[in-house]
Amino acid sequence: MLNIAAYHFVSIDQPAELAQSLHERAEAADLRGTILVAGEGINLFLAGDDIALNGFLDALREDARFADLIVKTSHSRAQPFGRLKTKVKPEIISFRRDNASPLSVGRAPIVDAHTLARWLDQGFDDAGKPVVMLDTRNREEFGYGTFTGALTLPIDNFTDLPAALEPHRDALRDATVVSFCTGGIRCEKAAVWMQGDGMHNVLQLDGGILGYFEQVGGRHYDGRCFVFDGRIALDPQLQPLVDEAA
């Protein structure tokens, strides 16, 4: 069973119309998972037959708005989703902060997986500054694993991050802070907001943990990456925990 995670920030004039169209296509392809659509873009978590799911993605990329859609993939023995859900939301990930969308203020600077692994190998970035990994996920997620020595925050919801981060801001001032999450969407929004809130030393890990696993594997990462479906969590080889237990 092919599993995909993808998001794309782009202006959507008629999100309800797009949501209906994507739902119909996914349903026809016998896909399950979640499709989120908002005025700021789309967020997809889908699983199904390889050919059917790749056909869905090919059709989606024929729309010029999604031609550059980046998809993270993995496989599982069984369908990890119970059904197909499609929702229209105010945001494709709820953060409820002004100036947190890259559509309005531009993307925060990124660091790619290979560069980050090299920095973590040497213990500092290319300017000689210490690197602090900032986990933007909640406590249930980082309980399954996170980057070695990462700053984790005792939050249950992404919207709680700004308040939980506040006591750490002075200590982070002289470091290069790398914001990360599962697939990239939360660390992207968090990094955009932090840059706008005066933390100009923040980067985002491009592609999140799953992108890092795809490109680098498990270097400097302890444990697994929690996912919100029947796979439970993925190891650095992108193997589901539920399959290991089977």
Which residues are part of the catalytic machinery? 181
Name 86's bridge partners. 35
State the helix-helix crossing angle for 113-122 and 208-215, rounded to 10 degrees: 80
Token representation of residue 198: 């005066």
The answer to whether 110 touches 211, Cβ cutoff 8 Å, is no
How many CB atoms within 10 Å of residue 78? 12
Of 53, 54, 39, the closest CA to residue 9 belongs to 39
> Which residues have a Cβ under 8 Å from the Cβ of 18 and sit 6 or more positions away?
12, 37, 42
Token representation of residue 103: 């559509």
Expressed in angstroms, the distance from the first to the final Cα of the chain is 16
User: What is the three-class DSSP state of 103?
Assistant: helix
Token representation of residue 181: 């999450």
The answer to whether 1 touches 31, Cβ cutoff 8 Å, is no
User: What is the three-class DSSP state of 191?
Assistant: helix
